Chains A and B, each alone.
Chain A
Amino acid sequence: MRMWSRVRSWLRAVMRWARMESEMDAELRFHIKAFAEDLVRGGVPHEEAMRRARIEFGGIEQAKEECREARGVNALALGIGVNTTVFTAFDALALRPRPVKDPDRLMGVYRTKEGGNRGALSYPDYVYYRDHSKTLSELAMWSGGMHVTTSDLSVVASEDALRVAGALGFRLPQLLQGGAQRLSCVFVSGNYFRLLGARPAAGRLFLPEDDQPGAPPVVVLSGNFWESQFHSNPDVVGSTIHLNRVAFTIVGVTTADYIGALSAVPVLWAPIAVRPLLGDGTRESLENRSVGAGIVYGHLKAGISMTDAEAELNVLAAQLRAAYPEVERNSGVRVVSERKFNQIDSEAWPIVAATMGAVALLLLIACANVASLLLARAAARRREIGVRLALGAGRRRLLQQLLIESTLTALLAGAVGLPLASWTLHLLVVEIASAIPSYWGAIALQVTPDIRIFGYTVLISLLTGVLFGLTPALQALRTDVNSALKDNGSVLGQQLSKSRLRDLLIVAQVAACLVLLINSALLLRGSQRALRVDPGFDSKHVVHLSLEMAEPSNGYSQARLFELNRQLMEEIASIPGVTSVTEASRAPISGGNRFVPVGIADAEPPAGKGGEDKRPTAGYSYILPNYFESLGVPIISGRSFTIQEAETEAPVVVISEATARRFWPDENPLGKRLVIGSANARPPFAGERVPFSPSSEVIGVVRDVRSLFLNKVDESYLYLPLSGSRYWTSTLLVRTSGSASSLLATLGSAVRRVDANLPVVLAPLEWMVSFNPYFLISRIGGILSSIVGVLGLFLACLGVYGMVGYSVMERTHEIGIRMALGARPPQVLGLVLRECARPMLLGTAIGIALSAAVSRLLSAILFGLNPMDAISFAGVSLLLIAVALFAGWLPSRRAMRVDPMVALRYE
């Protein structure tokens, strides 16, 4: 309870700064008045009584300052808190070693092709390296993951998660609760847990025996799933769970938040050998040397360097090349340190960098703030310092004292900032992560503050304390003993350098704050635009329906699947309001982008070095003939496929306008021929087919759409005929005459009528937009930078408030003279405000210039919003000036109330 009252008092002090200040004023004024009245009653004349009361009370400002400190008001705490928050997140992403055994010696092994990027090793290659390497102690593989379905569990949907998702602007697709639930499952080799030194929370983890073909299927639960679904009941170990209709024995549970060498917690872990059982690829795909199977990890043996290991593995690679010249051509091996999570996407890096930059700005604002407070306090203490100097105190001693004071302030701020940081992190990481559907797995960043974070906080506290305490301390020491003793602090000359420094601090605060706010406005407006962007197809009337199961197993035979698909399409087509149903290998803007090299048939392909394919690539999907009318994509010229062409997958193709312009800029593309793909292309995933056609006739041209990336129109896109009776795609698109979202419930019951156990995910195409990574980046980036920006604004306002307040206090004498000479209160107000407006405007100008530079970098994720968007720039700037002037106006009212007589007599 006492803890709570402290937090409340602190919050009140921070949130209602102005009110607290005026209350404090009123309270002290009451004290002095009451005291004076008592003196008057004792026979002292009124004026004299007031004077005596003031003297008796002592330094009013000093008392106020001590009151403020007693309240724990500390802007620096906020700055340090936010800074620590982001450092922790950054640390968890980029600096902290993986939570595994011996992270320093953990290596990743990748396959390389001459001149190519690093890629995954194939399974047989992995086995060869594992069995022959003498430099790496043990080689384990992580072989990706998939979603599996089970009907054994009750579905738990969190209300909170939905609310948070809504607040962030996500629309989560609906999972039809036909009893089936999707779980994420990753595949690892039998020695994976042993290599990484994992301990089970219950039961046991995998052994190499579990990862043999024909071994009884076993699975390990994540601690998080065990807790949420089974309430950490140890009896779960040994029980059976059906995954894709195959019975698995639960042999154990990992500890909560255990991620191994992954970056997110999966729900289930399974041995690689069971993959074919779940329908993901076949036993043969594990024997194919040309299919990448996963990332291989190993520990360097003692005394072996990374280069030694790479050299040894390349000798093994040469043996493989000799044995399998066809598939292993040009391939080699690279060994990379896997000590840290270095797999932050290159796309996320600018965001991470921008966030760190933003937070550095915030710390700057907080520091400037504290510096101006210290400066003001030093000014108020000139008299004290003057007396000490006059009495012979050494300047070094005084400097020491002032520095110790500011350092202590900063350390105190750090102590408040640290819990603030972990609270904010909890809010940001844990709450936002909980909004993500469970089948995406859980994000488990190590965000609990530890000794490193603590050290970091102490360090920045000390740094800010010394750096920003030093200037005011030196300023105070430059005090001229004589004038200080007379305490005419406001006499012109001397004041100059001090107020210039103070102005500079305000300029820096306003500029930094403006950069943050303008860019957050740009990002938020950009992400808002993303929701309204015209993708070129009709996203409002189309529902995306996806069957979440692995083909062709899951207990369904190939034949049964085609039958199901036919039944589903018929059942859905009979729903009133549904105008057409179509099928495609992928729906626009829903991920799963696929590209294939294309060229003009019979033309000389562009020369590439070493037989490399230099043809341009195009996105593609396989579609049924009625795809274009279902999605509302106009056919510009030519026609769509006939049913006959689709069924036989004839060598015909429909291309986008941009594709036509690219290959035949001045000719009619109809009747021309394209060569699509190549005969020996490797599929991106085991079991997926890759288009190959040496000569396909262009039969139609359709309007350009945004189907690959939301932020730009597809540069090249091919539509290929889909044979509904030969291939099964799992993606249906349903067009309705009404709104798509109102159709979801009816669609759900239609699906259940066909098969109650089908796991189906439904979402209007419109919703898919919110899963687009560009949307996520700009939305989350915008939200984060506006949080940081508003904190910055708040701090900057405290700074302005403090500065104006102190300058009014210091100039009481001067103001008194002016008023005695006939200045009107509004003139005095103008005088004070003009003084603070100048640095504010300068700061705004600098802030706008900096923002313009930063916004250029953001233009890729602004969805066509002008990076110099007038509303964001002008609106935010005006808002900032208004708020800052208000912060200056509050204390300047005190200047108007100055009683000339009192002011002239004041101490």
Chain B
Amino acid sequence: MDRQLELLQGTLGMLILKAVSLGPLHGYGVLLRIQQISKDRLEIQQGSLYPALYRLEHQGLITSEWGESENKRKAKYYRLTAAGKHKLQTEAEKWNRMADVIAGILGARPEEV
């Protein structure tokens, strides 16, 4: 297995939004989905997941309701709100632009400068 990358500061919220945009998830499910999509290359502190979820809910970007988990247990499911969808879009755009710029800078060769 590759060495796990530590999450960049401030990106957890965006990843959570993306994860729940694919369908309602409970907290543990969010963790699993991010790990699954990233093919376990990203290390997420489990303890920091919930504060982030609560913050997003407090900001009205996601909402929660109690439902039943795959193995018939009560679990709290999160889903994206309209505001969350919008936020995810702008964040993703920003991130992509930033990544482009940074990739451009890092990829610059001496003759181009």
Contacts and interface: CB of A to CB of B under 8 A. Distances in A.
A59 B55 CA distance: 18
Interface stretch (A65-73, A539-547, A622-630): A65-73
B59 A63 contact: no
A67 B60 contact: no
Interface stretch (B4-12, B15-23, B70-78, B105-113): B70-78
Given A2-B60, A4-B60, A69-B51, 8 more contacts: A24-B50, A26-B76, A27-B26, A27-B75, A30-B76, A31-B46, A56-B46, A71-B58
A9 B58 contact: yes
A interface, over-half SS: helix
Interface residues of A, number: 32
B104 interface: no
A60 B47 CA distance: 7
B45 interface: yes
A28 B50 contact: yes
* The 8 nearest A-B residue pairs measured at CB: A5-B60, A58-B47, A66-B51, A70-B54, A70-B55, A63-B47, A67-B54, A34-B28
| B interface residue count range (under 10 / 10 to 19 / 20 to 34 / 35 or more) | 20 to 34
Interface string A53-64: 000111110111
A904 B91 CA distance: 46
Contacts of B46: 31, 35, 56-58
A10 B27 contact: no
8 contacts: A1-B60, A24-B50, A27-B26, A30-B26, A35-B46, A37-B71, A58-B46, A59-B47
A46 interface: no
A23 interface: yes
Contact of B50 (A5, A10, A56, A67): A67
Given A5-B59, A57-B47, A58-B46, A34 B69 contact: yes
Interface of B: 26-28, 31, 45-48, 50-52, 54-55, 57-60, 69, 71, 73-76, 83
Nearest to B71: A37
B11 to A, nearest CB: 17
B48 A63 contact: yes
B57 A9 contact: yes
B interface, over-half SS: helix
Nearest to A30: B75
Interface of A: 1-2, 4-6, 9-10, 23-24, 26-28, 30-31, 33-35, 37, 56-60, 62-64, 66-67, 69-72
Given A1-B60, A63-B50, A27 B83 contact: no
B59 A2 contact: yes
B35 to A, nearest CB: 11
Contacts of B83: 1-2, 5
A35 B44 CA distance: 14
B26 A10 contact: no
Contacts of A33: 73
Nearest to B70: A34
A41 to B, nearest CB: 11
Contacts of B52: 70
A30 B58 contact: no
Contacts of B26: 27, 30
B27 A27 contact: yes
Nearest to A35: B28
A64 to B, nearest CB: 8
Contact of B27 (A2, A31, A66, A70): A31
Contact of A6 (B47, B58, B71, B76): B58
A625 to B, nearest CB: 74
Contacts of B48: 63, 66
